Amino acid sequence: MSIEHRSHLRREVRVAWAITMKDMRTYYTQPPSIMFGILFPFSLFLSFSIGRNVSLASQIPVLISQTLFFASSSIGPVVIPTERANQTFDRFITSPVSLLSILMGKTLAGVIYGVGISLIPVLVGIAFFGSSIISLVALIACFALSSFAFSALGIMFASIPGQTPGQVMMPLNFVRIPLLFISGVYTPVRDLPLLMQLVSLASPLTHTVELARYATGGDAFFGPLLNVVVLTCYAVLFLFMGIRFHVMNQRRE
């Protein structure tokens, strides 16, 4: 890589980080971020877990997966429609930085949000419910890959032309909520019928749940290696699709 390319790359990284920092300051405490990123996954968890004859420690990976899923994928759909409505998104498009760096900056804001929120159940599980981390590598892979994939999913949906977070959240929830029921969140993949096991293989959330279970000493039906490969593929796919859709928007707008 030439010095010029390295310098250009460093510049892109600096600008992407500036976008991340700005989004963190501006949008983390916005009501839609709190509603869809924090309250929503915790409420769903409590709705489906309380009263079941299972230990809370065994449910910690479920809560980790849900918070990673909802929190990471909620920032893009809050930030981008709001910025589109205020026309501040045009600031990025007209600044001397690539679309990839702009969307990476936005994705990273979702990653940090998701990781930050999801660390709470990990710490609570260890401190109060006797959870233990058997594989730190699996936990780190779970957090890093899942938060990136889900944040990129949110960015991809945020390319839907809309002026309010609700206009993006609604179609996104049409995807997010059904995924909860086919991803081994409430019923382990091993206990699903064969056809549903095949369906769950295609869901990125399945691999988050499996990695979280594996990291805390549980069972990973598809195996951690396949989990990592699938999540990596989804992360790249969602980011690529997000860029494509935003380019299409620029042509349309």
Find the binder of other proteins among 6, 52, 91, 244 (CB under 8 A).
Answer: 91
Tell me the C-alpha distance between 7 and 186, whole Å: 48
108 lines the binding site for other proteins (CB under 8 A): no
Tell me the C-alpha distance between 214 and 189, whole Å: 13
**DSSP string over 66-79:** HHHHHHHHHHHHHH
Task: In angstroms, give the least distance from the CB of 247 to other proteins.
Answer: 8
132 lines the binding site for other proteins (CB under 8 A): no
Tell me the C-alpha distance between 233 and 220, whole Å: 19
Interface region with other proteins, contact rule CB under 8 A, candidates 61-69, 87-95, 196-204, 211-219: 87-95
Find the binder of other proteins among 2, 47, 53, 250 (CB under 8 A).
Answer: 250
87 lines the binding site for other proteins (CB under 8 A): yes
Output 10 or 52, the one with its CB closest to other proteins.
10
22 lines the binding site for other proteins (CB under 8 A): yes
Tell me the C-alpha distance between 153 and 150, whole Å: 5
Output 93 or 140, the one with its CB closest to other proteins.
93
Contact status, residue 209 vs residue 201, Cβ threshold 8 Å:
no
94 lines the binding site for other proteins (CB under 8 A): yes
Buried b (16+ CB within 10 A) or exposed e, 114-130: bbebbeebbeebeeeee
Output 104 or 220, the one with its CB closest to other proteins.
104
**Which 3 state secondary structure label does DSSP give 51?**
coil
18 lines the binding site for other proteins (CB under 8 A): yes
11 lines the binding site for other proteins (CB under 8 A): yes
15 lines the binding site for other proteins (CB under 8 A): yes
Tell me the C-alpha distance between 60 and 216, whole Å: 9
Closest C-alpha to 247, from 136, 100, 147: 100
9 lines the binding site for other proteins (CB under 8 A): no
Output 78 or 211, the one with its CB closest to other proteins.
78
- Site residues (CB under 8 A) for other proteins? 11, 14-15, 18-19, 22, 25-26, 86-88, 90-98, 247, 250-253
